Amino acid sequence: MSGVLIALVTTVCWSLGIFPFTAASKRIGAGPVNQYRLLLAWLIMSGILFFAYSISFAQQFSDPQLYHYVFLGASGIVGFTIGDYCSFRSFALLGPKLSSLYMTFAPGSALIIGFFLLGEKINLIGIFGILITIGGVIWLTLSKKDAQAAEKVGFERDRTGIILGIVGALCQGAGLVLSKYGMDYYAEKLPTMHAVWIRLLFAFVAAFIVSIVAGKLIANSKPVFKNTNNAIPYMILGTLLGPIAGVTCSLLAIQKLEVAVAQTIFALLPIVVFPVNLLVYKEKITIQSIFACLTAILGVFLLIWRNDIL
């Protein structure tokens, strides 16, 4: 399967996963959802490695090298613990439509960090694409008509949500670069599923440590174990679509594509999110949102083709 096709599958998984995670976050909060879906995903991945790959639980810890733990662990903390927490809160505050458009910032983040860490190319075409993408996102953020459409279904143009959406997208780009560095830039290669396992291990441990230090472990745990507002089924569905299927495909994609190119395809998720959001939340697709989405996607396509143009 080609890298582009795998990246497209990743985009669909992540796009659909936004909705159950948004539903769960609105029911019990982003903190509990992020903390326990990471633990759940790690347990599922441990089972997959054991039953499908015959890697014992002890080998799951002993087989990776130190650099795998360093870079993939950092990737898990940056991308999952920090990035996804910010994104989940943004989804709950702004709604999937606007929040998904902020994810188009991730390719720019991947491009810049990949330039410094991986030696990947950067040029004026790529920078111009980033600026166009930013312009499209700002357009939708400032649109009064789109804001009114969002308010009718319970979402608003919350400043905190906007900041969290941007931070979440930047962390996604940074996390993917760290993943590629940990997987591909040393002699000892690590199977993709095992790389996901390490990312999830560090991510859920970091999430629990933050929860304990902040004194929120009990507060975050109660709604999960009580299944408050029936949030658990949504969290499980989102986990299967996101950290399991989506993230595994994303790591497969970056083994075949440059990080910025893969992240650019991932950033096309508004194309899937917009119509699904209309069906799920009945949030109107305004003319402004269509043109803002097309503008942002034009920017990311310039990132894809920047090496062919120059």
Helix (H, G, I), strand (E, B) or coil at 155: coil
Kindly state the helix (H) or strand (E) to which residue 226 belongs, with its residue range.
Answer: none
Average pLDDT over residues 264-287: 89
Model pLDDT for residues 185-222, shown as the tens digit of each residue: 665 778 889 999 999 999 999 999 999 999 999 999 99
Spatial CB neighbours of 247, under 8 Å, sequence gap ≥ 6? 196, 199
Q: What is the pLDDT of residue 260?
A: 66
Higher pLDDT: 300 or 120? It is 300
List the structure tokens of 14.
């992540």
Q: What is the pLDDT of residue 306?
A: 53
- Nearest CA among 78, 59, 54 for reference residue 182: 78
What are the sequence ranges of the domains in the chain? 3-309
Model pLDDT for residues 113-162, shown as the tens digit of each residue: 877 777 777 778 878 888 898 899 998 998 988 898 889 988 988 999 99
| pLDDT averaged over every residue in the chain | 89
* The residue to which tokens 């990080």 are assigned: 259
Residue 33's Cβ-side half-sphere holds a number of Cα atoms within 13 Å equal to: 36
What is the pTM (predicted TM-score) of this model? 0.89
Q: Where residue 305 falls among pLDDT bands split at 50, 70, 90? A: low
| Contact (CB, 8 A) for 141 and 135 | no
Mind spelling out the 3-state secondary structure of 59-118? Answer: HHHHCCCHHHHHHHHHHHHHHHHHHHHHHHHHHHHHCHHHHHHHHHHHHHHHHHHHHHHC
Average pLDDT over residues 258-280: 84
Q: What is the pLDDT of residue 185?
A: 67
d(CA 261, CA 259): 5
